[in-house]
Structure 1
């Protein structure tokens, strides 16, 4: 008989470490399952990140649209603030304080997520090693709020406001012309009364024994006071026109006050009549009788002469006011040229 071992060949040794082979098989299956789970987690995280980015972009665009609608046309020209890339907010001072507060609160409340490296040449790592920060949505109405003004620090230099000097107002002479005209009117009344008594004495209407009562009787008559009042009005009106003018203007235009005084004498006779009880023919007759009356001529001469001499007084004061105005103007110009002066207590 032949040898059975020659028929079946050399005996094969059975592997003794079966547990090692089974363990390596399980490890291979576990690695494959872990790689599959990692790939699935990676896809899920990428989709969630894409969804968050899309939601964040939509909310940011909506807030910008509302802000642009509320802003004025002048504000549309200013460049709009943009968010920092890579899902992180910029820490610059331009960020609204309320907006930054909402962002910080959202960062603290957001659960920590993880980043997975998707490059082929880098092995898969534990996703717990790479935390990232989630982005908080835009707070409602934060874009419409204007930042509160920041008060300057006490150490910063404070601006000093200097009030510019006011330009001096020119001094006029019209009030003085009125006061001097009142004195001139009193002199006019005294001279007009003297002429009244003189012509009365010449015509025999006034007696030397009755001179006192005759001097008081015109003071109650309208034909005496109307020329005086008209002279004062004419003198003051001329003084308001000339103001600080030269004396030559009073000499030339004084004839107008004489004419006004002459007309005032005729008006006084009409008021004394009185004219509202007269007919047209009677009034016309009174005017014709007084055209060349001695007192009418006296009123014209007094009005003319008193205006010249009292006008010289008004003119001299007007010259002094002109000098004061010029000096005040020169002082004002010197103050402007010197500029603001800081006076310390």
Structure 2
């Protein structure tokens, strides 16, 4: 349609239609401008979307074209220009979120992700439970009674010495050698002689040896075998007389005569009796303690057996 000439009548209907068409085209251009602005904001370096030349010509022509009725107006989408640097399928703009998604080019094959472990994969195996070694309790060592027999033997030997000295002073008092005036002096003098200490030492050794043999035995053993201690005490008296002589200054005949004269001496008989009786009574003390030690040993053994029957236990703190 040609532009109206000067002086020709102007069709108002056509003029209004042209103005309305210009308004529609302007809104289309504004929508395209807003889309380009949104794409630039969503992508850091978005590719520019050049407006195709034919589209520009179409828009420019539309501005000068004849007005079209609103019911015949169609929205024309802009097509990308055939620019070798522009790939329309690379960028897809999501107008709902304003984000741009890069799409693969047509005909391109998406690479397959291959996961290559940097280190060999070693399967994790749970460690096997380690055995717990529990030391078995040691069997209790039975307690003995020999040391107690030795200590009690010292008291028994002291008692033997006192009684032996008293018997010696008594026998000498009968003969008149010891009186009330010199009894103290004679007692102190006897403490420095061989005839007194040798029987005491022999009694202690024999008593302790018997206690070491009987150990925790009953008192009956002391009553029976106490006779041996009495015999040892008797021999200790004879040996004490030989040391008192002294025997190294005597001849064999003189030594034999000395021993023969002391075989039935009252002090020799007293040594035998005193040694025998003291062994019996002090042996009762030793056997009484041995019975208590035996009970302690039995209880320790029962506790050990109960521990073995119960088995090992784990104590948690």
Q: Which TM-score bucket, shorter chain as reference?
A: 0.5 to 0.7
Quick one: which of 215, 227, 245 aligns to 1:273?
245
Give the whole-Å Cα distance in 2 for the aligned partners of 1:217 and 1:196: 12
Quick one: which of 190, 211, 223 aligns to 2:183?
211
Quick one: which of 272, 275, 295 aligns to 1:303?
275
- Answer yes or no: is 1:178 the counterpart of 2:155: no
Give the whole-Å Cα distance in 1 for the aligned partners of 2:173 and 2:194: 21
Post-superposition CA distance 1:27-72 (Å, at most 9, x none): xxxxxxxxxxxxxxxxxxxxxxxxxxxxxxxxxxxxxxxxxxxxxx
The match for 1:255 is 227
Structure 1: segments with no counterpart, 5+ residues? 1-152
Task: Write out aligned runs for 1:151-300 (5 A).
Answer: 155-300=127-272
Give the whole-Å Cα distance in 2 for the aligned partners of 1:209 and 1:310: 34
Give the whole-Å Cα distance in 2 for the aligned partners of 1:283 and 1:310: 34
| Runs of 4+ deviating beyond 2 Å | 153-159
Give the whole-Å Cα distance in 1 for the aligned partners of 2:210 and 2:186: 34
Query: Relative to structure 1, is the Cα distance of residues 162 and 303 closer, same or farther in structure 2, using a 3 angstrom cutoff?
Result: same
Partner SS state of residue 220, structure 1: coil
Give the whole-Å Cα distance in 2 for the aligned partners of 1:195 and 1:262: 14
Give the TM-score taking structure 2 as reference length: 0.60
Q: CA offset at residue 197 of structure 1?
A: 1.1
Give the whole-Å Cα distance in 2 for the aligned partners of 1:278 and 1:307: 34
Q: CA offset at residue 154 of structure 1?
A: 8.7
Q: CA offset at residue 302 of structure 1?
A: 0.5
Give the whole-Å Cα distance in 2 for the aligned partners of 1:317 and 1:265: 30
Give the whole-Å Cα distance in 1 for the aligned partners of 2:235 and 2:191: 19
The match for 1:324 is 296
The structure that has the greater radius of gyration is: 2
Give the TM-score taking structure 1 as reference length: 0.55
Query: Relative to structure 1, is the Cα distance of residues 154 and 204 closer, same or farther in structure 2, using a 3 angstrom cutoff?
Result: farther
- RMSD between aligned residues: 1.2
Q: CA offset at residue 157 of structure 1?
A: 2.8
Give the whole-Å Cα distance in 2 for the aligned partners of 1:213 and 1:223: 16
Q: CA offset at residue 159 of structure 1?
A: 2.5
Aligned length: 193
